[in-house]
Amino acid sequence: MSKSGREIELKLELDPAAQDAMKRAGAIDGFSASRAVTKTLQSIYFDTPGQDLRQSKISLRVRKSGRSWVQTAKIGTGVLGGLSSPIEAEHPVKGRALDFGVIEDQSVTEILSETIGSAPLSECFETVMKRTTRILTRESDGAEIELAFDTGNILAGDATHPLVELEMELKSGPSQALFDAAKGLLNDVPFRFSPFSKAERGYRASEGRSEAAHKPLFAEPVVFSQGTSVEHALRDVLRSCLTQISENRLAVLASDDPEGPHQLRVGLRRLRSAFRIFKPVLNPATMAPLDAIARQIAAEAGALRDLDVLVDEIVVPVIGKAPDSITFDALLDDLNTRRDQDTRSTLVAHLQSAEVNAFLLDLAAYTEGRGWLDPEDFDQSTHLAQPIEAFASLALAKHWKKVLKFGKRLDELTVPERHDMRKAMKKLRYGIEFFACLYPKDTVKPLLKRMKKLQDIFGYLNDVAMAETLPEKCKVTGKNALPASQAIGFVIGWHEAQCQAMWQHAKGYWDSTRETPKFWV
């Protein structure tokens, strides 16, 4: 039987033990499930010596199941937010070799021929896996989803790499059904949106590139071309935010590296800044719930990050500068206990919850399913279709105006107002990073460089202001109360002296930032 058309798949990675448990589970609320069927699949992937198919996001394979062989060409194999929607041409073949003569869709044959040219095709790698499938049917509308649990190995040369993946393919119905089923299936089991197709995993394995452990992930540059619509730019920005948030959620759960909660908070702040920047073209009713949960997680990650900063950047650096009569053990014990037993445990518990799983899947559905559309806003489509350049210039000018409003009163700002100015600068900086690809690098870099220096100063001032609350928050009692109080007094006094000099630099950096040409004008 031949098959041709566009498929929509949601690809997720789970802990193998969790996947095994799900494999044995029954139906999901709102869905009926067919009997599970398990098969062994052997897939051989082909490409040219120059990997022309890979470069064009095309995969070409033959797969053996039982005694039957099927040839599959997938065009557009990229995975974004765990979602893949390639054009697929699938046909039976007689054996392990390719046969383009069986392809019924002439356009697929033409794309393959143009991509491959006269280059020879050969086997690159193969996967051998056990696939357990069920068909889920949603009771409300009959939407059908094939649920596939894959467990096996990638064989590339002499190397073997494990492969564990949950794949959900939409057979019929709206794409939202995929995400609804995933929420019901996963509940509170942490997951990762698969960043690569099986083909790309095979290529990476053949190059000796192993899968990285869950480590803190910094935001990748957002890149789109001139003339991109506002809607496509919005989608790409949200994809970047989703990746950073979901990857750093796992980084926090995997280790106590302080960079994990920091990058998680950055990802959430970038998301909330994107909501503010694109607010004129968003449906507030669908954006608000996502913004609310992002704010809550960011606050929890921020509380942990604040304690990391207090310990590592405020207290520890001054220990060697204090007289011998002042000891810091009691203060550090208190801060570390609060960080590990209270603040970190609160964040970890939330990140392991069904609520956060639902948030990530809802954000993915919002991003890939145009969740920002407002059926009552008849002008929205026109605004979303306009080129991003004009929108970006107006958005950056608006956020610069907010920063400038604080800067004009720099000498008069209270401590809370300095914090507000810092947040306004962060939002502007995120906006610049979102839209930087639209402007020449040499016009963007000077302003970003000066803003970063100014933000670093404001960040330090904010950290010292946070340290000044230690006398009220410190829980050390008994015989250790006095040593802790002495340590706090020294920490605050030392950093206050630094702040006086730092504030003078802030004025100079502000003047430089204000005078630097604004590239969006």
- Same structural domain, 103 and 26: yes
**Average pLDDT for residues 302-331, to the nearest whole number?**
94
Q: Dig out the tokens for 392 from the structure.
A: 């970006």
Contact 491, 467 (CB under 8 A): yes
Average pLDDT of the chain to the nearest whole number: 92
Cα–Cα distance for residue pair 395/473, rounded to 1 Å: 40
pLDDT band, residue 508 (cuts 50/70/90): confident
pLDDT at 354 over 80: yes
| pLDDT higher than 60, residue 5 | no
State residue 79's pLDDT score: 67
More confident residue, 288 or 477: 288
* Dist. CA 133–CA 131, nearest whole Å: 6
**How many secondary structure helices (H) and strands (E) does the chain include?**
17, 12
Q: Any idea what the CATH number is for the domain that residue 123 is in?
A: 2.40.320.10
Q: Does some domain include residue 378?
A: yes
DSSP string, 177-231: HHHHHHHHHHTT---EE--S-HHHHHHHHHTT-PPPPS---PPPPP---TT-BHH
What are 155's strand-pairing partners? 126, 160
Mean pLDDT along residues 347-360: 96
pLDDT higher than threshold 60 for residue 2: no
Q: Cα(25)–Cα(195) distance, rounded to whole angstroms?
A: 26
Same domain, 342 and 202: no
Alpha-carbon distances of 51 from 98, 120, 206, rounded to whole Å? 17, 11, 12
Mean pLDDT of 46-74: 95
* Dihedral sign of CA atoms 453, 458, 461, 467 in order: negative
Query: With contact defined as beta carbons under 8 Å apart, do 121 and 113 qualify?
Result: no
Same domain membership, residue 478 and residue 443: yes
CA angle, 504 then 508 then 512, to 5°: 165
CATH of the domain at 490: 1.40.20.10
- Per-residue pLDDT of 369-415, as tens digits, reads 999 999 999 999 999 999 999 999 999 999 999 999 999 999 898 88
pLDDT of residue 212: 62
Instruction: Look at residue 196 in the predicted model and tell me its pLDDT.
Output: 86
Domain extent at residue 170:
3-206
Same domain, yes or no: 185 and 246? no
Domain end residue (candidates: 168, 190, 206): 206
Name every residue whose Cβ is closer than 8 Å to that of residue 511 and which is 6 or more positions away in sequence.
Answer: none
Amino acid occupying residue 265: R
The pLDDT assigned to 155 comes to: 93
User: Mean pLDDT across the stretch 72-92?
Assistant: 80
pLDDT surpassing 90 at residue 506: no
Q: Which residues have a Cβ under 8 Å from the Cβ of 188 and sit 6 or more positions away?
A: 352, 353, 354, 357
CA dist 118 and 131 (Å) reads 36
- More confidently predicted of 20 and 261: 261
Q: Which residues pair with 91 in a beta bridge?
A: 71
**Based on the structure, what is the number of domains in the chain?**
2
Reply yes or no on whether the pLDDT at 82 is more than 80.
Answer: no
161 and 235 inside one domain: no
- Look at residue 135 and tell me whether its pLDDT is greater than 70: yes
Whether the Cβ atoms of residue 69 and residue 94 lie closer than 8 Å to each other: yes
Residue 312 lies in a domain: yes
Q: What are phi and psi of 312, to 5 degrees?
A: -85, -25
Does residue 236 share a domain with residue 193? Answer: no
Q: Which H or E element spans position 137?
A: strand 122-138
Spatial CB neighbours of 42, under 8 Å, sequence gap ≥ 6: 63, 64, 126, 127, 128
pLDDT score at 7: 66
Q: 276, 278, 333: which is closest to 307 by C-alpha? A: 333
Query: Within a domain: residue 254?
Result: yes
State the Cα–Cα distance between residues 309 and 456, nearest whole angstrom.
Answer: 13
Residues composing the chain: 521
Per DSSP, the three-state class of 7 is coil
Interior/surface letters 208-234, b for 16+ CB within 10 angstroms, e for the rest: eeeeeebebbebeebebeeebbbbebb
Tell me the mean pLDDT in the region 417-428.
Answer: 92
CA distance 456 to 453: 5
H or E segment to which residue 116 belongs: helix 106-116
Does residue 425 sit in the same domain as residue 498? yes
Q: What number is the average pLDDT over the span 138-153?
A: 94
Residues pairing with 132 in the sheet: 38, 149
Please tell me whether residues 234 and 333 are part of one structural domain.
yes
| Of 206, 240, 260, the domain-final residue | 206
Answer yes or no: do 151 and 247 share one domain.
Answer: no
Cα–Cα distance measured from residue 199 to residue 203, given in angstroms and rounded to the nearest whole number: 6
Q: Is 225 among the domain residues? A: no
Quick check: 3 pLDDT over 70? Answer: no
Please indicate, yes or no, whether residues 150 and 255 belong to a single structural domain of this protein: no
445 and 306 inside one domain = yes
46 lies in some domain? yes
Determine the pLDDT at residue 472: 83
Alpha helices in 310-387 (DSSP H): 329-337, 344-351, 354-368, 380-385
Residue 213 lies in a domain: no
Residues of the chain above pLDDT 90, percent? 75
Residue 100 sits in the same domain as residue 34 = yes
Residue 479 scores a pLDDT above 80: yes
Centre a 10 Å sphere on the Cβ of residue 317 and count the other Cβ atoms it contains.
Answer: 12
Lowest pLDDT segment from 68-72, 76-80, 191-195, 197-201: 76-80
